[in-house]
Chain A
């Protein structure tokens, strides 16, 4: 068998013999179904179909009953019951009709396969000629070919007209289009760090080693930015942790940005902007749950793994006279994901 097969693996193209191909045997003879041969079977199929339709009717009635007797209610339990009963009723109501129709078609409607002829998609040569002639006659009639100025006028008018729609839209769809807003957050010299969302200020002494605080700027929802506090919050959220100062590696120019082992970094990932918040206390690593960029909070929030390139921006902090933590300034670079003109 094996030597026989190897010779059949690849046929050399154009071997010369090229015998005529097999002939299509045509449609196989029709196989009679049970319901075709046996009137009792046909009757049975009909009864089955009726039962399936009846299931649908019962499902519809059941759903209506459930609607009136089991409203959504006030507890999780009653909500779930209502949803379950309505769903089952709807299921039976719909599925019954579907199954009945299909069963009817399969068992009782003709299953003689029929052939319908196909025709090439393209129109016949005369039609093509006629179509071409019609277009040519039209073009000639309009004189578009001869009147060059007219052609130019049509094109310019039609090309310019959409501006009436586009300019007002584009002018305002992006608000004030002031993309330099990306650069600034609410943080400024002396603004207190407060807990998110309660707004309670944080005493440095309360931040014990190993703590992680989710922080927003004080007065987030007050003053001139009260109407757009949510955009400000989206930029200003900070994660603050305290570790043993001996664990901390700090750049020369950032030595006074932390306070006795307390460091604060922007919570917005430098990759695509998810809140990075999975702080692993023992390794001081901060993991982003969206794309798993990992930042080392003990070492300038440098990237140790994942798709982010840049460290998280650090918020310089200190304490005020009452011992509460305050910012020294805004972030010194735009927070969040990279964008083209970020460094400009």
Chain B
């Protein structure tokens, strides 16, 4: 106690206290705040509201009872996770036909999204939206996540998830803007070209490890700007533009006559 009392006068004490306070507040909030999706079982009202939204915005393609049509899959049994992923990333409702649905600003707010998810989940059992704890990067092992990411994900999404090309104009998107929940849902449900990674393939803990690994990438690169992290091609462009550019400019200066 004495030791603490002595350190209270340390000049960094206010900073430490402030950090502690922030951490406690944040932690309490995270623990107590009602999670948009998983707080409780959806009410009948939510399902009804979701059905109304579905009829107005989705039924044209997916059919009035979500049974699917030519070019649009049945949504019976896809689960709340699939709906939450597709709608919260703005992929659904789809803006235009193309090789794949593009991410864009979401059309529905969090409440509407959860209502839609509740409605679709009520049609047939499917993967649920993960809880906050399931997607908390702080609880994951980034190193193990990295190993799993390299084996299962990097071939499409690139070494640290910056995205990559697939065939015929399709692509694996950059994971940078994705939230942990969306990453979890994508693994769980396998949107579009992406394969499904069910809980037998990647356990919930392993999924969280992957989320932790991707979270580590927010710290950036130890070596300076990451040049888009697109690999040796980017580095090649920069060595020509910056390296040769600067040095040829210097060479011209050296070769030019002084005035």
A binds B: yes
Q: A211-B197, A211-B201 are in contact. Are A107 and B166 (CB under 8 A)?
A: no
Interface status of A53 (Cβ within 8 A of chain B): no
CB interface residues, A 51-83, toward B, < 8 Å:
75-77, 79-80, 83
Cα–Cα distance between A299 and B150 once the two chains are bound (Å): 27
Q: Taking each of B190, B197, B222, B250, which has the highest tally of chain A beta carbons within 10 Å of its own beta carbon?
A: B222
Interface on chain A toward B: helix, strand, loop, or mixed SS?
Answer: mixed
Contacting pair B196 A278 (CB below 8 A): no
A301 to chain B minimum Cβ distance, whole angstroms, is 15
Q: In the bound complex, do residue B200 and residue A202 qualify as a contact, i.e. CB atoms below 8 Å apart?
A: yes
Q: A-B pairs with the 7 shortest C-beta distances? A: A206-B200, A212-B195, A79-B222, A76-B219, A277-B155, A210-B196, A280-B193
Chain B residues within 8 Å of A, Cβ to Cβ: 147, 151-152, 155-156, 164, 166-167, 170, 172, 190, 192-198, 200-201, 219-224, 250, 253-254, 257-259
User: Nearest Cβ distance between residue B97 and chain A, in whole angstroms?
Assistant: 14
Mark contacts of A72-97 with chain B using CB atoms, 8 A cut-off: 1 yes-contact digit, 0 otherwise.
00011101100110010000000000
Whether the pair A203, B200 counts as a contact (CB closer than 8 A) is: yes
Asked if residues A281 and B224 are in contact (CB atoms below 8 Å), the reply is no
- Which of A28-36, A168-176, A334-342 interfaces with chain B? A28-36
Q: Do A280 and B259 have beta carbons less than 8 Å apart?
A: no
By a CB distance below 8 angstroms, the chain B residues around A283 are 167, 193
- Given contact pairs A195-B201, A202-B200, A282 touches B192 in the complex (Cβ within 8 A): yes
The answer, among A33, A212, A287, for a CB contact under 8 Å with B166, is: A287
Question: A208–B196 Cα gap in the complex (Å)?
Answer: 8
Knowing A106-B258, A197-B151 are in contact, say whether A83-B224 is a contact too (CB < 8 A): yes
Min distance, Cβ B19 to any Cβ of chain A, angstroms: 15
Task: Give complex CA distance A239, B164 in Å.
Answer: 20
Q: Is A40 at the interface (CB under 8 A from chain B)? A: no
Known A-B contacts A75-B219, A83-B224, A282-B193; A211 and B198 likewise in contact (beta carbons under 8 Å): yes
A307 lies within 8 A of chain B by Cβ:
no
Cβ A285 vs Cβ B198 within 8 A: no
Q: Are B257 and A31 in contact (CB under 8 A)?
A: yes
